[in-house]
């Protein structure tokens, strides 16, 4: 199984690489992921939620294994990460793995447009893009760090199993492998 190979390869060097590049942002391992409201913008047409719908997407995920991402910029590094996450979601469809990206920043309308354009440009099919009501930093009780460009929270049954946060330009091939390893661990 591909996850087992990824886990083995990453285990050798990920600890040192990830520790150097990461920061503290969002709910930490062992904490619960609370409810918050968002507007779905694009992606994952199979989730049964229409673009433009206002809801608690976290609530929609229930007890499923989820890779939840908060992103301040939609760049090529994020696209590379999301392509890998999308592969994992496809591979673990039987486990009902899901993923969604919360775009955060200064202006909800520009974030919605950027998210829709990003999904179309990168042909993302299995990852939903949403904009939280608390658009600037995400839900206040999540404590998304203002200097975290990308925060990845892997959870199952509402409980955080892994957390990775990166400053601008902090996503590298090695840190992406560590995130993929954490998503694999949700279903191993």
Q: How far is CA 47 from CA 62, 96, 150, in A?
A: 13, 11, 23
Pairing of strands 38-42, 54-55: antiparallel
Q: What is the reported pLDDT for 185? A: 87
Crossing angle of helices 173-185 and 2-21, rounded to 10°? 130
**Average pLDDT per block of 10 residues along the chain, 188 residues long:** 45 39 88 97 95 95 96 95 96 95 94 95 96 94 96 96 95 92 85
Supply angle C-alpha 51, 57, 58, rounded to 5: 165
**The overall pTM is greater than 0.85:** yes
Q: What is the reported pLDDT for 24? A: 95
Length of the chain: 188
Q: What is the reported pLDDT for 183? A: 85
Q: What is the reported pLDDT for 30? A: 97
Domain that holds residue 173: 2-185
Q: What is the reported pLDDT for 8? A: 40
Q: What is the reported pLDDT for 184? A: 81
- What is the rounded CA–CA span in Å between residue 158 and residue 143? 17
Q: What is the reported pLDDT for 3? A: 53
Q: How many domains are contained in the chain? A: 1
Q: What is the reported pLDDT for 163? A: 96
Q: What is the CATH classification number for the domain harbouring 165?
A: 3.40.30.10
């Amino acid at each position: 199984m591909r996850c087992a190979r990824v886990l083995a390869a990453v285990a050798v060097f990920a600890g040192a690489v990830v520790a150097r590049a990461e920061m503290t942002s969002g709910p930490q391992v062992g904490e619960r992921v609370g409810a918050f409201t968002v507007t779905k913008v694009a992606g994952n047409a199979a989730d049964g939620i229409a673009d433009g719908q206002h809801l608690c997407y976290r609530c929609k995920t229930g007890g499923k294994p989820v890779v939840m991402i908060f992103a301040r910029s939609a760049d090529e590094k994020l696209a590379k990460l999301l392509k890998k996450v999308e592969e994992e979601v496809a591979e673990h469809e039987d486990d009902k793995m899901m993923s969604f990206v919360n775009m955060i920043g200064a202006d909800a309308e520009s974030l919605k447009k950027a998210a829709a354009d990003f999904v179309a440009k990168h042909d993302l099919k299995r990852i939903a893009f949403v904009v939280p009501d608390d658009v600037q930093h995400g839900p206040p009780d999540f404590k998304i760090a203002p200097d975290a460009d990308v925060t990845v929270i892997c959870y199952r049954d509402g409980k955080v199993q892994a957390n990775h946060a990166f400053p601008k330009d902090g996503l590298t091939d090695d840190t992406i492998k560590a995130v993929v390893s954490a998503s694999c661990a949700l279903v191993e």
